[in-house]
Chain A
């Protein structure tokens, strides 16, 4: 019997309602088309709320030497020059306007003495560049976009999940999914679709990401024939909480280091001074005194080594722990309390500058960060890789399918700079929304073929047909998810080797077989077991893409570090790894040469070396 479903139609469907999705929906709606915004959770709960430090934009409010050119050069250097340079250019040029626009929509940023938007220091940024609100900038952004968006005539589908994209020939024409509350299947017909689903952090055990981060957009795009690029580059944020066990992985903002926090091993040594990469040497403080002056706004000082790029800091922490110099619970010490030696009112200052960090440690670890050092260690935070898109329009290789934010690849190359994510969301969310609306105006919604809809509907309900293992049905989904997370953490994590990754690839295949037979209990209404069963496919697709790309890149660069090839190799600087679904249904990998950078941009890079 055919499965019953409800049909909705919009010119543009945006999947995901974090910063990028909301910004895309606002822009598409402003262009006069009908917009449906689908979010996996309630509106305003997306992972953007977790962003703490700020939003990078060369407004030069604090240091007038800053400009889009310096921001561009910083982004390319941080990404180890395999970024999509066109995206890096647009991002650096347009970010200031996107920040000001947020203020015009109600965001309340911290201020400079002369009343402008205040900007703070962050890793890899040459000048103070992050517009911020204490350490809850992401919440400010999402709330501003949400509160603006609800007055724009956008239809919001809260707690809905998309499980398949539908096509007509090459072009994407719809999405299929369900609502969580009733478990009712839904067909969304659309002229264009924007993916804004965030990342894949749930493929790893220790992560700062929530349950939603199961790589849905990556997987949907892949299944629809789009290309995924740079999937080997996963960012392990250097500072996640490590204790108590239940909070392991929760983010400790880089803002702690921006405000003067230092990293020490168990011997009390500030180990970051021991290993400063060549290409950052002339931008790094010579001694602790200079580092401190930098954090206090001295324009003649260079940044402390704690503010080197995230990939590097994470590896240094990993090295200290492996060498037996870590903290009691397997991390290192991050100390902001020490600034009381420098500031008279340090305790109040810390609470004011880092209120949610103070709160988080007090409540979850019973630790007062104004008095004691924190214990921190690397946590899976972000994926630089994602859907390969056109830099100007954000359209993927599938016509009508757009991607923006973390789910899109290109801007960040091999490593993302802190603060470049929030600006990414709004710069490219806007562009995706604009071009999706344009595409939808030129290509009206069509009804997807019935057999595609039927197949998507069957796949949705299959786990129920198999039922629970207790009644002779399939295995439950949670164990498979945990096994995948453990394996990815151990074998495709911060330090990788060929043998480990080959073993992971075999492990993924075995888990795929088990996942295809997973069964669930209960009924369709708000059933998390069922939701987890459906998400498994996405996690496994992403895990395979990460592993295959990581095996292929036999060097160390940015977020990708190999013990068996621990140096950067210039011949790997000329291409990106791309995976797509092959004709037989298996994943195929290609090396895609990076187009030569425009001469004027090359000059910008040279001038800022």
Chain B
């Protein structure tokens, strides 16, 4: 670890920057020189004092708060506690060349996943051919038997997917996980960009940054393109669990920016297999539902009978093809972390191509041999439940005590199917403004990309959500676990 020399840090906001060569720093190279694509930003920041930054940071925070760009953290408090998703003013920059590769890789991956979903709910060739073990799919909590032989409009299951990437110390991008149920966070991408444009407009002018504001338009076009056949002007809605949901801000933001209705389960009803919403002028038919409710809750008649969030009879209308659901039910069978291991094979199988993006090597606790390795090398591994999100239930070997390790060993053995392990990846670090330090410090980041698949179209949001683990040394970037985010710039091709 080397405390960097003054020659690179004229600016006092970089005074306490401690570089660690174990990790790849996105902004500085191994010798502490600023990477070329960050030079403009760095030069601009050089004009700021620590005080300026404090003010700028404060202003950005207040604007998020007033706009209500907050999320609820589940807690003892009934309504949850409202928090701002911390936003960092130092943008993460990706060169066009690097981005092209990411974009191609993400599309490739999601096309293959979509083909895989179609297959496992129809002929199941990939299982019959032994590429993916059948019991892995059938034992998945998210494999949805209601979806067998159902044909979603245009054969699309994964309309919206969020692929999480990290940059390892070897300088390569790796896919950390796929999110194909209802990936969240895109509203932060758009709001971060707005906040950035407002706070650092000069900097923005001098860099050629590709826009992200077309996302809402693209999303609406995607949703409309998969409406049931014979519907000329489809009525599309977003279905939210309600305003106490942690992502309610995002639901309302997306509805507003697409100009479509935000509905709750109680606003909808099904009659003769058609879905209607209750308006002041009587029932109005609904053709496409972008639902932000988990499979289990969308239809109390078919799934969880206690669900007050869903719409009784919705699955019946869906199976009849009278309404489309975004994403299709049952997509969770493909973003299961145990299935993740097979994605490179899945890409080869359906597309006959080599995967562009790498997978992190994954050990499945289900396999005896791999389990043995996991149990013997726990201190070197991250162990995760395959079917949970939000960073819950994760075990990180390097920071665990003997006792914790012993306890977790028991947890794994009690349900081997549920756990996978990966080597602890050295997530890259990025200069991040730290309030208490009054300056920049390196923090670990990842990148969530957003990919849309519609009728004859695919689209990847140019940039995505760079999530930052704000706690020093922490590798967990989830917002519910003290993560923040950065605006992510993809530079125009030179």
The yes or no verdict on A and B being binding partners is: no
Residues of A bordering B, CB below 8 Å: none
